[in-house]
Amino acid sequence: MQQYLNKISLVRLIADLSVVALTFIVCVYCVQPTTFADHFRSKFFLLFILLLVWFFSGTSNKLYNEHRIRPGFSLEIYKTVKSIVILALAIVVFSFFSQHFLPTNFVFIYSGALIVCFGTEKYIIHRLVLFLRRQGYNLRHVIILGHGNTANQFHELITNNPHLGYDVIGYFDDEEKDAVIGPYLGKINDLGPFLKTRPINEVIVATPGITIGEIEEITYVVDKAGVRVRIIPDFHFQFYNRYEFKQFGNIPTVSLRKEPLEETHNKFTKRTFDIVFSALVLVCICSWLYPLIAVLIKMNSKGPVLFKQKRLGRDRKEFWCYKFRSMYVNAVSDKQAASKGDSRVTPIGRVLRKTSLDEFPQFWNVLKGDMSIVGPRPHMSIQNEQYQEIINNYLVRQLIKPGITGWAQVNGYRGEIENEFDIKNRVTYDIWYLENWSFFLDIKIVYLTVWNIFKGEDKAY
């Protein structure tokens, strides 16, 4: 079998840049058929900017990384849509700082056209590559060392995902077994001579309990044959897909939990969103809402307008969390959370809690940097002490900033914690969010939060 398209990632990049450029030209012509050539330099410069933005957003999103080891077409489309959103923002910013030579609806027309064109282009390339690989082209021929759960899982993965483009020649093991991972090729000591007789691209080491010395011996043999080697670690099954390798100086380390918000560019993205969103809410909504609610609270009961309480933030640092006061002043506000039918809640407080308006002062916490728009909800100090005694990984949720809303809340775990089951599920959702954060997940959570407010929630009391 021959290998073709060994630079598929480059083909994808060139195809994507072509779609960006051609779609731009067609859309400009459609919206300005009679003045297409007007402002030619400005339009050409904008196109150049869009191509640069696409290149850097695509590479930073790892859209053109090794395609064989990615989950496939669905993830590629998701990352493409993310890059289209960034392109749309680039057009808006460019239009703001330049003369308006394109109509205001151009960004929507262009974005919609890109979604259609990219979907078509990527589907065609995906099907073409899949067809060629099924015909025996552009395959990577691999052999597996070892036999067991790890080897079987790897074989099942590449069998069920032909788009990955791997072909298992067989396996080496010190004992021949009735295997489903291909023909038995011999003992591990026979690997060296075999590699001289067959064109092998990769050797997958999936031997349970393999020692460092054995790995060094295998690596020596494989390197001598000029073949790549991959090692599937034993702890893969214990931690599934949560772990990742990171470089600590010149020492490789294994992190047992993925934390996207530890990456600098993700921190910047989330903090920028927090600042812009909270500033808009404070200026456009709280500027007139605060005085109105303040008057209603004062008319309804004695006490301050704002209620503040110490909560646990990121890295277990305490901060003052602000809310509109929704209860009569009482001596147990720091010890007892609100419950259904709580007599401490004022009449106006019930409305504030039902609509989540009592949480609006926390946008000031977000602007200060104590909280985020989205994150695990902060609990009272007494609750933190109670829950960390019964849930081993409870404090993992403190590795990121607490939020006004969160993944647990939009999945039904807001408000009162009635039993141990509630808090365990809330922590599970919070840790899932920590390990799977993305900007678009935050947007989804904000949308679901607003939707739930209008829809109404059982625990909004």
Span 360-381, pLDDT tens digits? 999 999 999 999 999 999 988 8
Q: Is the pLDDT of residue 66 over 70?
A: no
More confident residue, 245 or 95: 95
Tell me, what's the pLDDT at 270?
92
Q: Is the pLDDT of residue 320 over 90?
A: yes
Average pLDDT over residues 56-72: 66
Q: Is the pLDDT of residue 1 over 50?
A: no
* Residue at 85: amino acid letter: V
Residue 398's pLDDT band, with cuts at 50, 70 and 90, is confident
Residue 279 backbone dihedrals phi, psi, to 5 degrees = -65, -40
More confident residue, 122 or 338: 122
Helices (H), 360-438: 362-368, 381-390, 407-410, 420-436
More confident residue, 322 or 59: 322
**Beta-carbon neighbour count of residue 276 at 10 Å?**
11
Q: Domain 140-240 is classified in which CATH homologous superfamily?
A: NAD(P)-binding Rossmann-like Domain (3.40.50.720)
Distance (Å, rounded) from C-alpha 401 to C-alpha 377?
9
Distance (Å, rounded) from C-alpha 450 to C-alpha 447?
5
Residue 2's pLDDT band, with cuts at 50, 70 and 90, is very low
Average pLDDT over residues 286-302: 90
Q: Is the pLDDT of residue 18 over 90?
A: yes
Most confident of 68-72, 192-196, 208-212: 192-196
- What is the token pair recorded at 244? 């990742």
Tell me, what's the pLDDT at 4?
38
**Longest distance between any two alpha carbons in the chain, whole Å:** 89
Q: Is the pLDDT of residue 395 over 90?
A: no
Domain ranges of the chain: 8-134, 140-240, 264-455
Would you give the distance in Å from CA 314 to the centre of its chain? 19
Helix axes 8-31, 40-60, angle to 10 degrees: 150
Tell me, what's the pLDDT at 222?
85
Average pLDDT over residues 259-272: 87
